[in-house]
Structure 1
Amino acid sequence: MNLKALLERPAIDVESATHPLPLAASLNFDVCVVGGGPAGVSAACAAARMNKSVLLVERNGFLGGALTAVTLGSICGLYRNDGDTYVQLVGGFADRLMQCLNSLGSQYEPLRWLQAVTLPYDAFAMRAALDALLVESGARPMLHASLLDVEVQAGRLNGVIIQTSAGALRMQAEVYVDCTGDAELVARAGGGFEVDFENLQYPTAMFRLGGVDHAAAKALSRPELHRILEQAVDTGFALPRTAGGIFLDHEDHAHLNITKVSTSTGAPPNPLDWSELTEAEIEGRRQILQYAKAFRKMVPGYSNSYVLDCGSSIGVRESRRIEGRYQLTAEDVLASQKFDDGIALCSWPMEEHGRGRSTKWIWLDEGKHFEIPYRCLLPQGLSNVLAAGRCISTTHEAQASIRVTAQCFATGEAAGTAAALALQDDVAPAEISIQRLKDELHLSGSLPHL
C-alpha cells in the first residue's frame, strides 16, 4: 500500500469521476454497507477486496464510529490473555489497520489492563488510517449520509433511500450489510430484533484531560483511585461511577472512560429516542465537568489538569439486537463454545455497565476463547441482508462481550466476505458454503487457526 499517495491524492472531481455519485438519481452497487464504524469499514473493505463494487454509507463526516466519534482509548478484544503471554484472536483487517497506523507514526504496544490486554490508539490517526484503507480497497465512501427509508418485497431488500444535504438518493444493491450498531437497516426492513429498554447498558461520555502528571497518575492503583472517588462522592461530588478506564497518552494527556449517563429517573436512556438521547448528550458533558473538578481537587497527578476535549457523541453500548438464525448466549461465552460455522473469536469478558457505581465483569479463564457463529449475522426474514457489529444476534449478557471493537472488525470482515461469496455463487447469504467462508477468513488472517 502506498499510504502517502493515498493520503495526498487530489480531491475527487465528481463530474469526471469513474463512479460519480449523481444527486437525485439511483445508484447501483453489488454491496451496500450502512454504517461506517469498525464493522462497516471492515465489511466494505472485505467485499471490495473480492472485486465487488461497494458503497459505504456513513452519517458522520469521518469513518470509525465509536472508535473516532466517541473515542475509546484502546481497542478491546484483539488479544486473549494467556497468563504470562497473550495471543492475537483477530487479524485480517485489524492487522492491516495496525500496519497503517504504524506507518502514520502512531505506534502503540499492547497494554495489560485488569485481566485483559488492549491496544491504545490515537483517534485522529485512526480516522486517517481508516480513510486510507477504504480508498485503497476500492470501496466508495458516502459520508454525511443517513438511511431514510427502505424498499422491501417478500423479504428481499430491493433498495434504500439515503438522505444527503442535497436531497434524497435511491441506492440499489444485491446484498446489504447492516453495520449501524442499532440494527437500523434490519428494523426498517421489517426484520426481527430485540431491545430491553429497562436493562440496557448505560452509555458513557468519553473525554481527555491535559496537564496530567503521568508519574503521579501511574503510581495510583485502581483500588486507591476507587477509594478516592468514593470519598469524593461522600464530600458531595455527584459521580455516578467510581471506577473506570484511564489511558495515559502523549506527555500529559489522559483518556477517561468513567462517566455513566442515565435519565432523570436513573434508568438507562433510550438510544432510539431523540429526546432521551439529546438529554443524555447534555448530561454526559455535565458529568465530564464534575469528574474534571473532582480529579483536580482530590486525585494525585491531576491538580493542574483541564478538559482537553470529549467525544463528538456519547458512547452507546447497546440498543437493538437482531433476531438471527442463532442467538449467542452467556452459557456459550462462559463455556468457550465452538461452532461448525464459527467465523470470529472472542475472549473479552462479559462487561456490563448496569445500575450502581460499579461495572460487572465476568471473565473467561486464561487461555480460553469462544467462537461467534455465522448464523448470528443472518437476520430472520430477510434474504439478502447481513448484520455485523454490536447488533448481531445475542442475548443481553453475551452482547456485553462481543460488542467490543476487535469483534466488530471480525464480524464485519466475515459479513463482507460472505456478501461477496453469495454474489459469486448467485445464492442468498444464508446458502453460501461455510467452509469456503472460513477458508477465506483464514486466508485473510481474520480467523486465526487456534
Structure 2
Amino acid sequence: MNQVFSVVEEAARRTPVRYDCDVIVLGAGSAGAAAALAAARQGARVLLIERHGFVGGIMSACSLGTICGLYGIDANDEPYSLVGGIPAEVVERLHALGGAAAPKRWVGAVTVPYDLFLLKVAFDELLREAGVRVALHAQFVAVSSAHGRVEAVFIEDKSGRWAARAPMIIDATGDADVVHAAGGAFEYDLSTLQLPTTTFRLGGVSEAVARSVGRDQLKEMLEVANERGAGLPRTCGGVYFQTPGTPHLNLTRITRNGNPPNPLDTFELSDAEFEGRRQVLAYHKAFREFVPGYTDAFVVDSGIHIGVRESRRVIGDYQLTLSDVQDGRRFEDPIALCSWPVEVHESGTQTRWDWLPPGVFYQLPWRCLLPRGLANVIVAGRCLSATHDAHGSVRVTATCMAMGQAAGTAAALAAAGQLSDIRALDYQILRESLVAQGCLLDADPARTAATSCCE
C-alpha cells in the first residue's frame, strides 16, 4: 500500500440507523446469498448488503463458467454428490430456468456449466421468496465495535452514509473486510497469493469443431502460439460451453512485475484490470489463428471486474491444513464436504493441480468460520480459516455456498436464542438443522451417486 504522508481531519458525525434486524450479511456472492437465504428460512430478519447491482459475486460478475465442488469421483470412476441443501437447490432452479447444462466430466472432476444472466435471476427469485431485505449498490465501509462484538456496520450509497444493527454479523465479503475492520485475526501474505484472472466469453465459435479440441490439444496449440510470439501467460485452462456458440474462457493470468498484484490496493488492482483486458485480446487473436473452430470468433464481453482468488484469510478457531485435505480428514463439527483438488494458480504457464484419490473427500469444520477475537461474527466463503494450500481446494463455489448455509443457519439460531457469543451455540443443534435442510455432512458414494449423466 502507498504510504500516507499527510492527513485530512474529518468532523465527528452522527450516522442514522436505517435498519435493525437479526442477521446482517455483508457480501452477496455465492456464500453470502446462501447465508441470507438460510437465515431467513429459519425465521430471522435478514439484511443483505452488496456493492454490485446483482447477487452472485464472482459467479455473476466474472462468470466462473461452471459450478465446481458439487460432486466427487468414487473408486469406480463414477460421480457422487458431495453437496446438498441450497447449492443443489440453486442448480435445480437454474435447470428450471434453462440456465444450467448437464454435469460435465472434466479430468478428475464433475462440474455444471451455467448461464450468467439466469444465475442472477435464480438468486433474485430465491431471495425474494425467502423475504430477504437486499440492499444493492451499497458499500460496506466500517464497523462500530467494542469488546470483540460488532455493534453496527456502516454503509455508504448514493443517499449517503447509514448504519445497520443486528446481534449476528456474517462476513461474506471475500476479503474479510468486516473481520479486518473489527480487529479480528487474519493472514495476508502478498508474496504467496494466487494470481487473479480476467475471464471472458467469445462469440461466433463453431461449437462442434471447438468441442472436438481436447484439453491437451489446446495446450499444445497455445504453446505453438507462444513459440510464434503470442505472449500468452498461461497455456492450460478452462473452456466451457453453456450458451450455444459462446464459450466461457478462464485463461488469463495477471502478474505485476512477476508477482501477484495487491488486490487490496486500488492502483495495483486498476493496473491489473488493464492488463487483463490486454490479455483477452491476445488470447482472442491466438484462438482465431491457432485453434480450430475459432476462425470467426469475437469477444462478447469480459467479467465486470478481475477475478481475485485469494486475499485475506481469517485465523479461526481451527485452520484447515493441506494434510487435512489430502488425508480426507473427518471432524467432530462438520458443516460441508469437499473433494476438489488443490488448485493453485502461481507464476508460469501451468496451474498446480493436486488431485485427491478417487472416493476421498474431507469435511470442513464449523470452527473454520469463527474468526478469533470476535464474538458475533461468522465468515463464509473464500476468507475462511485455511492455509494457503488448503485454500486452493476449499474455495470453490459449491463449498462456499455450503459454508454460507451453515453460517446463515447458525446466525439465525444464535439470534433467536439471544446468544451474545456465537460459540455458545450447541453444534449438535446446528447439525440437526443442516441435516434437516438436506445438507450433506458425510457421504457414502454408493448411496449418493449422481443421478444426472455427464456429457
Query: Does the TM-score normalized on the shorter chain lie above 0.5?
Result: yes
Aligned partner (choices 189, 193, 203) of residue 196 of structure 2: 203
1:403 match? 395
Unaligned runs of 5+ in 2: 1-14, 444-455
Code of the residue aligned with 2:78 in structure 1: it is T
SS at match of 1:126: helix
Report matched runs for 1:186-225 at 5 Å: 186-225=179-218
How far has the Cα of 1:251 moved from its partner?
2.8
How far has the Cα of 1:52 moved from its partner?
0.5
Report matched runs for 1:168-179 at 5 Å: 168-179=161-172
1:100 match? 93
Counterpart contact for 1:292–1:307, Cα < 8 Å = yes
Counterpart contact for 1:75–1:405, Cα < 8 Å = yes
1:136 match? 129
Counterpart contact for 1:91–1:448, Cα < 8 Å = no
Once residues 100 and 212 of structure 2 are traced to their aligned partners in structure 1, the CA distance between those partners, rounded to angstroms, is 24
Percent identity between matched residues is 48
SS at match of 2:61: coil
Q: Deviations over 1:63-120 (max 9, x none)?
A: 0000000101000001011243211111111122122212222242110001100011
Report matched runs for 1:414-429 at 5 Å: 414-427=406-419, 428-429=421-422
Report matched runs for 1:11-410 at 5 Å: 24-82=16-74, 83-263=76-256, 265-410=257-402
Code of the residue aligned with 1:36 in structure 2: it is A
* Structure 1 consecutive aligned stretches of length 4 or more whose deviation exceeds 3 Å: 23-26
Unaligned runs of 5+ in 1: 1-22
SS at match of 1:68: helix
Aligned residues: 427
Counterpart contact for 2:23–2:415, Cα < 8 Å = no
Q: Deviations over 1:310-337 (max 9, x none)?
A: 1111110000000100000000000000
SS at match of 2:72: strand
TM-score for both structures, normalised by structure 1: 0.93
SS at match of 2:191: coil
Once residues 235 and 180 of structure 2 are traced to their aligned partners in structure 1, the CA distance between those partners, rounded to angstroms, is 36
Counterpart contact for 2:69–2:340, Cα < 8 Å = yes
How far has the Cα of 1:24 moved from its partner?
4.5
Once residues 71 and 96 of structure 2 are traced to their aligned partners in structure 1, the CA distance between those partners, rounded to angstroms, is 22
How far has the Cα of 1:252 moved from its partner?
1.3
Code of the residue aligned with 1:85 in structure 2: it is E
| Structure 1 pair 114–38 and aligned structure 2 pair: CA distance change class (3 A) | same
Code of the residue aligned with 2:303 in structure 1: it is G
Once residues 244 and 153 of structure 2 are traced to their aligned partners in structure 1, the CA distance between those partners, rounded to angstroms, is 47
Once residues 243 and 56 of structure 2 are traced to their aligned partners in structure 1, the CA distance between those partners, rounded to angstroms, is 21
How far has the Cα of 1:448 moved from its partner?
4.8
Once residues 224 and 289 of structure 2 are traced to their aligned partners in structure 1, the CA distance between those partners, rounded to angstroms, is 12
Once residues 283 and 359 of structure 2 are traced to their aligned partners in structure 1, the CA distance between those partners, rounded to angstroms, is 36
TM-score for both structures, normalised by structure 2: 0.92
SS at match of 2:336: strand
SS at match of 2:22: strand
Once residues 365 and 67 of structure 2 are traced to their aligned partners in structure 1, the CA distance between those partners, rounded to angstroms, is 22
Once residues 193 and 128 of structure 1 are traced to their aligned partners in structure 2, the CA distance between those partners, rounded to angstroms, is 34
Counterpart contact for 2:60–2:117, Cα < 8 Å = yes
Once residues 320 and 251 of structure 1 are traced to their aligned partners in structure 2, the CA distance between those partners, rounded to angstroms, is 37
| Structure 1 pair 205–151 and aligned structure 2 pair: CA distance change class (3 A) | same
